[in-house]
Structure 1
Amino acid sequence: MADWLALDRASQRAWPALITERYDGWVLRYARGYTRRANSITPLVASSLPLARKVACCQRRYVEQGIEPVFRIVDRGPALGVDAWLAAAGWGKRDPTLVLCRPLDSTTAEARLLAAADDVDALGIEDWIDAFVRITCDGREQGPHREMLWRVATHSLRLMLQRDGQPVGCALAVLRDGWLSLLDVAVVQAWRRQGLGSLMLQRALAWGAAQGAVGAVLSVTATNKPARALYARLGFTASYAYWYRHPPI
C-alpha cells in the first residue's frame, strides 16, 4: 500500500481546489468556500520561515479570497509542530477524520460485480448534481462543486441509485495516481440501513478495479460509527487521520 503522503496527495487531487498555492512547504487550497478540504491549508513539510509570519500570511490570503482561514492537520510529521503552535494560539480543533484505504485488483470480488447493480446508474455531471442536491438537501451554491467535478470528469464515475423512480443514493468515484477516491457518498434518511450504500460502493470499487486502481481511499469523520462499520465490512482499514483548526473567535 502507498505511504500516507502519496495517499494524501492522490486524495487531494481527486477533490481538486479551484486555486492551489504552495508557500514554504504548505499547500493552500481555495474553492470559493465549498467544503473545508478544498478550502484549507495543509502543512506537509518542515518550514523555513517563522510560524507566526506564515500563519499571518495565510490568514491574509484567505481573507482576500473571502474564505475563513482553516488548517487541515495530519496526525504525523511536521504538521504536529504546526498544530501545537495553533493550539497554543487559541485555534480550535474540529472534526477528527480518519482516512481509510484498501487494496484493489482485477481479482477482487468487486471486480466481478460490474453487472450486479443494474439499478445503480452512472450519470453526467449536471444530472448527478441535481440528484446530489435532492438526496442531501444541500442548499449551498453548487457552482464550485460543478467546476470541481468538471476538473475530474474524464477519470470519474458519478453514481445514483433510485427507488420507486426517485433518487435515494449517490456516490462519486475519482481515479487519481492509481488510487480510487470515494466521495460524496449519501443515502436519503428513510432508505438508510438497507444496504444501499454498500451497493453503490461495490459498484464504484468494481469500476476502479476494472480501471486498474491499486487501491481505494475515503475519509470519514471519527464519530460516524455507522459509516465506519460499513467501510470496515468492505475491507477498509485506517491509514492516517487529520483534523481542522479554526481561528480564535
Structure 2
Amino acid sequence: MGDTYHLNKRIEEISLNGWPALQSVLYDGWLLRVSEGYTKRSNSINPIYGHSMPLDDKIAYCERFYRKKGMDSVFKITPFSHPENLDGRLEELGYRKAEHVLVQTLELDSLPSPVHAEAEFSDQAGDIWLRQLAELKGLSATQLETKRKLFFGQPLNQCFASLKVDGKPVAFGNIVLEDGWAGLSDIMTDPHYRGRGYGLSLTLHLLNWAKQSGASKAYLLVVDDNSAALSLYSKLGFQTVYEYWYRVKSVASQ
C-alpha cells in the first residue's frame, strides 16, 4: 500500500475525531459509535482496523449491540474497511446501500480573502448559533440537544463562525483542528440569502482562521448529490481524494 493510501487513512481517522460520538466501543478493530441516533456518521460501525474474529460472528455482535439500543445497524464502508469482502457480505445479508459521500481536501497555501468581512468567531457553539443550526437543518429539540453535547464534548480546538449582513447573521459554520488539518462541517446559509456568495465568504473566513491557527490543509465530507455544496467547494479548489458509503439494516428486519 502506497503513501496515498496511508495519508487517506489518516484523514479518515482525523475526520472521525472531527465529528465525534457521544460513546464508542472498540471491538476487534471495529469502532462502534453511538450518539442517540443523530446522523449515521456518529451512529455507525467503522471497520478501519484489522481483525481476527470470524466475520459473520462480528457482524452478528454489532447487530445485537445496536438492536439493544433500538437502532439500525449501520456500517461505514471506506477504502480502508477490513476485511476487503465486508461490503459484499453485508449486501448478501440484506444490507442496503445508502448515502454516497465524497471526502475532499484542499491545501491552504493560497487562500483569497472573503468578500464579505463582517464575521464573528467563537470557540463555543452559542445559543444563537445553535438555534440557527436547528432552524436551517430542521432539527428537533432532542436532536439539537444531542448536537450541543457533541460540540461541547469535542476535545479538539474548534471555531464557530457567523457571517453578518447589516447586523443579521446569514451564514454559519464550524471548523475543527487536528495535526495540521482543518475539518469543515455544518456550513449553512439562510435560505433568504442564498446565491449571493455568503456561504463562500463564511467558508473562507473559517479556512483563513484555521490557517492562522496553524493548519496547512483542510478536509470536508459531502454527499455526492448535494450540488450546491459541491459547487461552493469546487470554487475553493477542493478535490475528492476518496469516497465512502453506508450499509444499513433496519432494526425491524434483524
Q: Which residue of 2 aligns with 1:243?
A: 245
Mapping of residues 208-227 of structure 1, within 5 Å: 208-227=210-229
**Stretch deviating more after TM superposition (215-224 or 41-50):** 41-50
Amino acid at match of 2:239: T
Flag the 1:82–1:4 CA change in 2: closer, same or farther, 3 A: same
**TM-score normalised by structure 2 residue count:** 0.88
Give secondary structure in 1 for the equivalent of 2:73.
Answer: coil
Flag the 1:77–1:52 CA change in 2: closer, same or farther, 3 A: closer
* Maintained 8 Å contact 1:135/1:170: no
Separation of aligned partners in 2, 1:80 and 1:140: 39
Separation of aligned partners in 2, 1:64 and 1:167: 42
* Maintained 8 Å contact 1:175/1:208: yes
Identify the match of residue 61 of structure 1 among 56, 61, 65. Answer: 65
Identical-residue share of aligned pairs (%): 31
| Structure 2 residue 104 is the aligned partner of structure 1 residue 103 | no
Separation of aligned partners in 2, 1:58 and 1:64: 10
Amino acid at match of 1:120: A
Flag the 1:231–1:217 CA change in 2: closer, same or farther, 3 A: same
**Misfit runs of 4+, over 6 Å:** none
Flag the 1:145–1:43 CA change in 2: closer, same or farther, 3 A: same
Q: Which residue of 1 aligns with 2:119?
A: 120
Q: Which residue of 1 aligns with 2:9?
A: 5
Q: Cα offset for 1:140? A: 4.9
Q: CA deviation digits over 1:40-90, x for unaligned, max 9?
A: 001113331111110111111112334322111113553541111001111
Identify the match of residue 194 of structure 1 among 190, 193, 196. Answer: 196
Amino acid at match of 1:145: K
Flag the 1:210–1:25 CA change in 2: closer, same or farther, 3 A: same
Separation of aligned partners in 2, 1:160 and 1:31: 26
Flag the 1:79–1:51 CA change in 2: closer, same or farther, 3 A: closer
Mapping of residues 50-89 of structure 1, within 5 Å: 50-76=54-80, 78=82, 80-89=84-93
Separation of aligned partners in 1, 2:179 and 2:141: 30
Q: Any gaps of 5 or more consecutive residues in structure 1?
A: none
* Maintained 8 Å contact 1:134/1:167: no
Q: Cα offset for 1:194? A: 1.3
Amino acid at match of 1:57: Y
Q: Any gaps of 5 or more consecutive residues in structure 2?
A: none
- Could you say what the CA RMSD is over the residues aligned between the two structures, in angstroms? 2.1
